[in-house]
Amino acid sequence: MLTMRVSPPSSIDASPLTPTNVAQPVPRFGEVVIRVEVCAICHTDLHVVEGDLPARLTPVTPGHQVVGRIVAVRGVQDRQVGERVGAFWLRSACGVCRYCRRGLENLCEKAEFNGYTAHGGYAEHMVARADFTVPIPETFTSDQAAPLLCAGAIGYRALRLSEVQPGERLGLYGFGASAHLVLQIARHKGIEPYVFTRSEEHRRLARDLGAVWAGGADAEPAPEIDAGIVFAPAGWIVPLALRALRPGGTLALAGIHMSPIPELPYELLYHERTVRTVANLTRQDAHELLELAAEIPIRSQISEYPLVEANRALQDLKHGLVNGAAVLRVAHSDADE
């Protein structure tokens, strides 16, 4: 099988992902093999490739927003060969640690992650834990569903943790795959989205999707917001977002990695403002988001690339050239049908 592998840290501008032929994976007990149709690109993939996250498996096949058909199972009752499923960032959780027992499997002390601690979906086939896959509703094509599995689900979790209420103003900082999905959820819930991004192309998409306002993070004067979510991995945005946040509001930081946050004057935090991070996602987040996405319905703005152009897709993501979500399409040979 063909897989795109990398030995981090490597600048994506050097095209470090290498096409590699390896043996088709064999499932262990409780696992399934997925014949990958598409894998959406995530900023976390970029952080893995460029070494912003410490290497856990080297070389590694990135990718964790995977949609495909099951072609093999072992010791599994609730998944069937031929079923279309999705795999996401959380590969497994122990189920017994203090966090898992409280329903916080996203904080599991022994968590494993697709495309980071285990090989992911930049490949023709991948292995996944059966109980950490989700059925994909027929409402969605595979390319529409893939960005929902992380960009959508993390955004959904961040929206909930921001504690924004219907009728309030929500600031979205950075407008990529996750933010353009969250904006649609916010509109559905009667929340007013305000988008802060440098790209005029991204601002146009935000307005087209129903943003009340779209401008730069350093806008003067910035619109006051009741809650905010920072998707951009740029610490310098945090003070600007706090300056726009009303007293008592919450700012959620949705990235797994962020550049250093500058020193803050205390008055930006005063008046009971809250800053919180969003770590990973749970299976419940993924299930709830897919159900809500079908109800709204959410439509992903897609830029599609062939698997062998994964380097170019990540380069475009890094340099702000993707409007919406980037998705890798996996081509299979006739012999693999």
DSSP string, 225-272: EEEEEE-SS-TTHHHHHHHHEEEEEEEEE--S--PPPPP--GGGTTTT
| Same-domain pairing of 143 and 161 | no
Tell me the C-alpha distance between 261 and 243, whole Å. 14
* 3-state helix vs strand vs coil in the chain, percent to 5: 30, 25, 45
Please report whether residue 35 resides in a domain: yes
| Same-domain pairing of 29 and 93 | yes
Domain residues for the domain of 248 are 152-277
| Same-domain pairing of 17 and 139 | yes
Q: Read off the CATH number of the domain in which 246 is found.
A: 3.40.50.720
Please report whether residue 177 resides in a domain: yes
**Cα 54 from chain centre:** 19
CB count within 10 Å of CB 300 equals 23
- Using CA atoms, how far residue 92 sits from 118, 129, 148, 322, in Å, is 10, 7, 19, 30
Q: Mean pLDDT throughout 151-156?
A: 98
| Same-domain pairing of 100 and 85 | yes
Q: Mean pLDDT throughout 139-158?
A: 97
Residue type, 9: P
| Same-domain pairing of 52 and 105 | yes
Q: Mean pLDDT throughout 161-168?
A: 98
| Same-domain pairing of 133 and 179 | no
| Same-domain pairing of 179 and 260 | yes
| Same-domain pairing of 164 and 267 | yes
Residue 251 has pLDDT above 60, yes or no: yes
Q: What is the pTM of this model?
A: 0.95
- Helices marked H in the chain: 43-49, 142-145, 151-162, 177-188, 200-208, 237-244, 283-295, 310-318
Please report whether residue 207 resides in a domain: yes
CB count within 10 Å of CB 267 equals 10
| Same-domain pairing of 74 and 24 | yes
How many folded domains does the chain comprise?
A: 2
Please report whether residue 294 resides in a domain: no
Across the chain, mean pLDDT equals 96
Please report whether residue 85 resides in a domain: yes
Query: 84 with 135: CB under 8 angstroms?
Result: yes
| Same-domain pairing of 22 and 143 | yes
pLDDT tens digits, one per residue of 91-147: 999 999 999 999 999 999 999 999 999 999 999 999 999 999 999 999 999 999 999
Q: What is the CA radius of gyration of the chain?
A: 19
DSSP β-bridge partners for residue 21: 2
pLDDT tens digits, one per residue of 297-320: 999 999 999 999 999 999 999 999
Tell me the C-alpha distance between 276 and 250, whole Å. 8
pLDDT tens digits, one per residue of 60-98: 999 999 999 999 999 999 999 999 999 999 999 999 999
Query: 114 with 61: CB under 8 angstroms?
Result: no
Residue 337 has pLDDT above 90, yes or no: no
Backbone angles phi, psi at 122, to 5 degrees: -80, 60
Please report whether residue 285 resides in a domain: no
Looking up tokens 């095209």 gives 15
Q: What is the pLDDT of residue 195?
A: 98
| Same-domain pairing of 269 and 312 | no
Confidence category of residue 222, pLDDT binned at 50, 70, 90:
confident
Q: What is the pLDDT of residue 9?
A: 86
Q: Read off the CATH number of the domain in which 141 is found.
A: 3.90.180.10
Residue 336 has pLDDT above 70, yes or no: no
Confidence category of residue 221, pLDDT binned at 50, 70, 90:
confident
Local structure of 82: helix, strand or coil? coil
Please report whether residue 289 resides in a domain: no
Q: What is the pLDDT of residue 332?
A: 85
Q: Mean pLDDT throughout 232-255?
A: 97
| Same-domain pairing of 177 and 308 | no
Residue 201 has pLDDT above 70, yes or no: yes
DSSP β-bridge partners for residue 4: 19
Please report whether residue 80 resides in a domain: yes
DSSP β-bridge partners for residue 326: 303
Q: What is the pLDDT of residue 335?
A: 53
Q: What is the pLDDT of residue 220?
A: 83
Q: Which residues make Cβ contacts (< 8 Å) with residue 288, sequence separation at least 6?
A: 156
